[in-house]
Amino acid sequence: MARKKGEIVVPTKPVSRATEITHFTFKSYDKNAGLLQFQIKDQDGRPTDLFGATVRLLMFIYSGDEKKEFPIFDHQIITESYLEGIVKYPIPDMLLSYEGKVDANIYIDFPDGSHTDNLAFTFTIEKSVIDWDIQLNGEYYFKDFQQLLEQVKAESAGVIEELLEDVKEVVDHANEQIVTMNEEVEKLVDKVNEASQQVENLGRFKRMYSNSIDFGNYDYSGNANLLPKITADHFTSGNGATVEDGADGEIIFTLDGSAQLTKFNTSMRLPALQNGKRYTISAEIMLHEGLEGDASNIRLTNVYVPGGNIMLSTVRPLPTATNIWHTISGTQIATYATTLPQQWYVVLQDVTASSRIKGKISLRNIKIEEGSVVTPYQPNLLIEPYQISKTPLNANLANKEQAFPISSRQYLVYSAEMIEPFIANQTYTLTLNGTKLGQQVFRVYTTGPNNTSNIGDMEIVEGLADTWRLTFTPTSANLNGSVSPSTLQIYQFPQATMGQVTIDSLKIEKGDISTPNITEHRYFGEGIKDSNNPNDYSWDITEEYIERRTADQIEKSEKEQEKLFLTKTEASTSLMDLTTPQTVSALKKFNGGLFSNGINVGVEYAEAVTTDKYNNHGAVYLGGCVWLTWETLSFSNASGWGRGSTIRVGNDGHPGFTYPDVPNIFGGYIWIGGSCLPDYTDGGFGAYHITVSNNFDDARQPIVRFIDSPTTPVKRLAVRGFALVFAPAPTTNSKVQET
């Protein structure tokens, strides 16, 4: 998380500028905290469009009087907004190991081949008092992971050589101490193997995936938090106080003394606890100065309905010193009552019914964790915005056509074909997000409610609200005789107590590990040890996120350009003169048809007639299926039926032409697409069907039809495609009729 950000405006002007002394100073202890942010602007002061551009940084540091280039890798320069021209460079740890002035230059390579030298600037790195081991006088060092790995390998190799020398020494004295030698050799071999394994493990990076890397200043050394962030919204019901959110996750209760304090909200559905498992609930509480009444019997509980059964509760009496944050906690084994849980929530309550407290009480850092020990608060990394996983996202094999949410009161609540059949002895993991009555279970089958195809019952997932999961391996018995071995069915069981069920989402994947039901992770982290602490990993952007973000930027840019085009079009066409000739710079929508000399030339259907009906009107092609009328359409070979000949379009009396001869569609000619060959004739009586193939390599292929003999003027011409084409006015020989 960038906590020290130096912002620099980078102009793009043909002006010689002196080196900008930023006066920015970063300290050697600013690990993962320092950041340079560049706002790149054009000459007119607007942000520079960086789409397709490459921003480069060149930095120099000093060792005595010697000036040395500091290495910068491309992936370290992050373009945060292509359209706003914002680029970031997090200060790497290796640079923080240096002490002294840093000279820097910023350059930009644009996609059109142009390059700009934009700005020279300086900033300073100073040694923190805590870092006494930092070298002075401008000397610096850095160690990337590969260097560290090589160093460890070298040291391990030295250890191995040293151990082997010890072995040799033992062997030299073998005649004197045979038994001792054998014992020592075994110990030394074990040490050699252990050292070799450590070297091998160092080369295996451990990975973690997340949709956010803003992990905050939390201590992740303890147990995972099974609750989402608890806010004032979780306490909107009840009596005795009003509730609001304060700074830094604080929840402020203002008690008015009107009733016993009891605040909750059953609609804020929280993750379930497993029956028979030990958990600990904890929070920090502060009684504000001036509080009136006995607050020692206030407790925080985790409860489920129906029944309001308490599963976890903080202990009493509560510390009553004011203006101090106190940690309160309680540990219990969750034991379901006769009535099974349907939804979970938290309650802040004064157990003394007659108590009427006035004043303010604050809560923060509410946590439920597995086990009996309170560990430091941390956010729930299983939910948004993180959705942490140690495994790349697995493909969802569920039916893609199934619409969600599903709401049902039937016995069978889900039945669909997966995108591939079940495989016998292949392990699968099914995860479902939804709601049901407490006494019901989600029971999974392959082909129906029978013992043979019964896969099992889904169980709650800790840390995720209204989520159930089942990992299973179907056997041949589960699949044999199945009408469709790809069928996945979910029933609510037992049938006798059916109730309302919803399924909001569903994912089935191969393997025994569940991955989030999302399309991508934005970030991945790499570390040298398998850890649940995200700060043990070095984070970068995933390729999938980069590709989608680039595609989104392109789409956004295209939409903005289209919007600008339409805005200009509306401004232009709204001023069209409908009575005098006028040039229109964009396409206008003609709701009532497009007319020339009172004739609709944008009709969708027309047929030939034997008499002149329309004279001297132009024709326009707007795309789709629109009729065009113009000059003369003839075969190049006028004899016979002309089968296999090429169709040409041109003025009356013109000998015809091929499409390379027509560079200007506003002249007397127009090319309607490649070579045209008659597909068939209508009984040999002068009716021809012609298909035109173009060179656009596109699904929008024009089609040309006409009715007439090959040697007489055109009567009908239709083109399908997508373009804006104006054709010249027809001659008196042109004949067309609307239908």
Residue 739's pLDDT band, with cuts at 50, 70 and 90, is: very low
Rounded alpha-carbon distances, angstroms, from residue 610 to 269, 602, 651, 690, 708: 77, 21, 20, 21, 10
Residue type, 249: G
pLDDT tops 90 at residue 70: no
Residue-wise burial string across 445-457, b where 16 or more C-beta atoms lie within 10 A, e elsewhere: bbbeeeeebbbee
Q: Identify the architecture of domain 4-129 in CATH.
A: Sandwich (2.60)
Mean pLDDT to the nearest integer, 1-28: 81
β-pair partners for 443: 457, 491
Closest CA to 291 of 264, 319, 317: 319
Highest mean pLDDT: which range of 165-169, 606-610, 668-672: 165-169
Residue 565's pLDDT band, with cuts at 50, 70 and 90, is: low
pLDDT at 498: 95
pLDDT at 116: 86
Q: How many other β-carbons are positioned within 10 Å of the β-carbon of residue 164?
A: 12
Mean pLDDT to the nearest integer, 395-405: 95
Rounded alpha-carbon distances, angstroms, from residue 382 to 48, 352, 502, 535, 536: 38, 37, 22, 16, 17
CB 108 within 8 A of CB 40: yes
Structure tokens at 162: 């040293």
Q: Identify the architecture of domain 394-514 in CATH.
A: Sandwich (2.60)
β-pair partners for 632: 650
Asked if the domains at 4-129 and 232-370 fall in one CATH topology, the answer is no
Cα 8-14-18 angle, rounded to 5 deg: 50
Domain boundaries, the chain: 4-129, 164-201, 232-370, 394-514
pLDDT tops 90 at residue 19: no
Residue 1's pLDDT band, with cuts at 50, 70 and 90, is: low
Strands 459-460 and 523-527: unpaired
Residue type, 283: A
**23 burial level (CB within 10 Å; 0-12, 13-18, 19+):** exposed
pLDDT at 546: 80
Mean pLDDT to the nearest integer, 482-488: 80
H or E element, residue 738: strand 737-738
CB 502 within 8 A of CB 406: yes
**Cα(736)–Cα(739) distance, rounded to whole angstroms?**
10
Structure tokens at 333: 């084994």
**Cα(511)–Cα(144) distance, rounded to whole angstroms?**
35
Strands 241-245 and 251-256: antiparallel
β-pair partners for 649: 633
More confident residue, 14 or 472: 472
Please tell me the least confidently modeled range out of 207-221, 304-318, 530-544: 530-544
pLDDT tops 60 at residue 703: no
Give the helix, strand, coil percentages of the chain, each rounded to 5: 15, 35, 50
Cα 152-153-158 angle, rounded to 5 deg: 95
Q: Provide the CATH topology of domain 232-370.
A: Jelly Rolls (2.60.120)
More confident residue, 683 or 459: 459
Handedness of CA 175, 180, 183, 185 (dihedral sign): negative
Mean pLDDT to the nearest integer, 431-435: 97
CB 522 within 8 A of CB 210: yes
Mean pLDDT to the nearest integer, 46-71: 87
Structure tokens at 220: 């992740």
| pLDDT tens, residue by residue, 95-113 | 888 889 999 999 898 888 8
Strands 115-126 and 20-27: parallel
Handedness of CA 557, 562, 565, 570 (dihedral sign): negative
Tokens 């009552």 correspond to what residue? 337
The CA radius of gyration of the chain, in Å to the nearest whole number, is 38
Share of the chain above pLDDT 90, in %: 43
Helices (runs of H) and strands (runs of E) counted in the chain: 5, 44
pLDDT at 152: 54
Highest mean pLDDT: which range of 54-68, 705-719, 720-734: 54-68
**704 burial level (CB within 10 Å; 0-12, 13-18, 19+):** buried
Structure tokens at 6: 């130096």
Handedness of CA 90, 94, 96, 98 (dihedral sign): negative
Residue 325's pLDDT band, with cuts at 50, 70 and 90, is: very high
One-letter-per-residue 3-state SS of 468-527 = EEEEECCCHHHHCCCCCCCEEEEEEECHHHCCCEEEEEEEEEECCCCCCCCCCCCEEEEE
Residue type, 301: T
**Cα(591)–Cα(261) distance, rounded to whole angstroms?**
66
CB 461 within 8 A of CB 442: no
Task: Read off the pTM.
Answer: 0.53
Residue 715's pLDDT band, with cuts at 50, 70 and 90, is: very low
Strands 4-10 and 78-81: unpaired
CB 718 within 8 A of CB 704: yes
Structure tokens at 47: 């942000």
